[in-house]
Structure 1
Amino acid sequence: MSDSASPLSPAGDRHFDGLADKFAASLYGGVRGELRLALLDHLLPEMLELRTQPLLDVGGGLGQLAGWFAARGHAVTLAEPSGEMLARAREALAEHEVNLLQAPLQALPELAPGPWSLIACHAVLEWLADPRLALATLASLLAPGGQLSLMVFNRDALRFSNVVKGNLEKALADRLEGRGLRKRLTPISPLTHGQVVAWSAENGLAIREVAGIRVFADYLRAPPANKADRERLLALEQCYCRVDPHWRLGRYLLYTLECPTHPPEEAVA
């Protein structure tokens, strides 16, 4: 396939067959990937009520998140549309008993209907043509009282990053989305906090917790030069990742959304 060809699915979503190496290097390699995983390790126990309940990991990619939950006693089902990514996850999760399912998010109401008391969907919605519908699908899979750990690529952070890099015309025109080209890894549907708030309300989900992932690191002129500087940067991130206004410029926004225990009562005419 040529570089200009689009790897989008029939639904218009971005999948990652043929890109596992680049995906791993770009998103998890280096200081930024190290910070992302370290911050999740710090935040997930704070932001979720974890009782070793079964977990559905939607768009589980290379399996890092599934491994984190499996190591803590959760029975994990990892759903991932890319066969190549799923093969990598199988290797990474060899020491854990994880159910692997090759399926896109849209197929989960049929293939993994639950209802689930715990769902994780990290860095997935921004790769979908219709993230609003995707959130509605996730909400339909939750049990009453269930929790959704949602992480999305922050459109406002992407704009700010472009300004820092001097891409003023691009930022002013709001041309921030990727186009789904073969070797590009800019999300096709970066989201704002306002969209998450509005779409959560549409689906009856309450936002219980919110944090920013990498609120400083992506704006540094140069990466930390040594281990001591990396430790200081992580300490800064941990200190301010849940403090307003800093969390709002995290490269990713991390939410705990909760399905109400009882459906809202119908309004009396």
Structure 2
Amino acid sequence: MPLSVSPFSPAGDRHFDGLADKFAGSLYGGPRGALRLALLDRLLPEMLRLEGQRVLDVGGGLGQLSGWFAQRGHAVTLVEPARDMLAHARQALAGQPVAFVDATLQQLPERTPGPWSLIACHAVLEWLSDPRGAMAILAGQLAPGGQLSLMVFNRDALRMSNVVKGNLEKALADRLEGTGKRQRLTPISPLTHSQIEAWAADSGLVVQEVAGIRVFHDYLRHPPGTEADWCRLVALEQHYCRAEPHWRLGRYLLYTLVRPATTT
């Protein structure tokens, strides 16, 4: 009997080798991914200072975010440890100003040394065994005045989702972490806003902006049935994604973290 290949790295991080087609189909090919990308298209120009600077896209996956930056005049370095995802990104972004690096987040200081004025790390920390240490690594690669666009899977939203589904005992016991092995792929390290605030401060970063991604969508009893309903949902998400208290229940939390410029 052939030995099964663990989906985890020796450090206990969940990588996604062999799942490029799943991500392209069930995630980005469906409404969840479409809404996520639509909200990022609206929010990134509002939340970031974009000046055509070089971008480091950490855990860039299939390349959607790298492509977004490249189309707006940024030279991008996409870092991704899953080789089939990296191959997919190479094909999708052929001809665009994107360099590709097969590496993990922990290898950034050696493989893509900074300082970088803009780093993007979306939906990565929640799949790592040590997200706090990963935050410190990202902060260490930022230049003074540099920006980190960070998106993480929201633990509080995961609790609410479990309550809506009737998983009351699980929510009450706070057993929210996934194993990283099942088909739905619940993250192994879902994070809270308080954790991000504390870890940012520990790393010398300032939380400048925050928004919720998919504030309403994931709690709907029935998905939008018509194009008109879909447009209304997108409008609702756009209107409330940065408003109190709604952003706090976004399935993902999107941050702009800044390393203050040094003063003399």
- TMscore range, shorter length: over 0.9
Measure how far apart 1:28 and its partner are: 1.5
Q: Does 1:180 align with 2:144?
A: no
Give the 3-state SS of the residue equivalent to 2:113 in structure 1. Answer: coil
Q: Secondary structure of 2:150's partner?
A: strand
Distance 2:46 2:19 in 1: 33
Return 18-27 or 214-223, whichever deviates more. 18-27
Q: What is the alpha-carbon distance in structure 2 between the residues aligned to residue 6 and residue 227 of structure 1?
A: 41
Between 29-38 and 128-137, report the one with greater CA deviation.
29-38
Name 2:216's counterpart in structure 1.
216
Moved segments of 4+, more than 6 Å: 1-5
1:243-254 map, 5 Å: 243-254=243-254
Deviation at 1:184, TM superposition (A): 4.1
Kept in 1: contact 2:74–2:97 (CA 8 A):
no
What are the Cα deviations for residues 141-189 of structure 1, in whole angstroms up to 9, with x where unaligned?
0000000000000000000000000011111111111112163411110
- Counterpart secondary structure, 1:51: coil
Equivalent residues in 2 for 1:74-89 (5 A)? 74-89=74-89
C-alpha separation in 1, matches of 2:163 and 2:123: 23
The CA deviation at 1:26 is 3.4
Alpha-carbon offset, residue 220 of structure 1: 0.2
1:3 and 1:182 in contact (8 A); partners too: no
Q: Does 1:165 align with 2:171?
A: no
Q: Which runs of 5+ in 2 are unaligned?
A: none
Kept in 1: contact 2:56–2:77 (CA 8 A) = yes
Q: Report the counterpart of residue 33 of structure 2 in structure 1.
A: 33
Unaligned runs of 5+ in 1: none
Aligned sequence identity (%) = 74
Pair 1:98-2:71 in alignment = no
Cα displacement (A) at 1:2: 9.0
CA contact (8 A) 2:18 2:82 kept: no
State the distance in 2 between where 1:230 and 1:198 align.
36
Distance 1:116 1:243, change over 3 A: same
Residue 113 of structure 2 corresponds to 113
- For the pair 1:53 / 2:53, whether they are aligned, the reply is yes
Query: Aligned pair in 2 of structure 1 residues 2, 205: CA closer, same or farther (>3 Å)?
Result: farther
Root mean square deviation of aligned Cα: 1.7
Between the aligned partners of 2:179 and 2:207, the Cα distance in structure 1 is 30
Residue by residue over 1:108-127, the C-alpha shift from the partner in whole angstroms, topping out at 9 and shown as x without a partner, is 00111120000000000000
Residue type at the aligned position of 2:185: L
Aligned position for 1:259: 259
Alignment correspondent of 1:153:
153
Whole-angstrom CA distance in 1 between matches of 2:97 and 2:239: 34
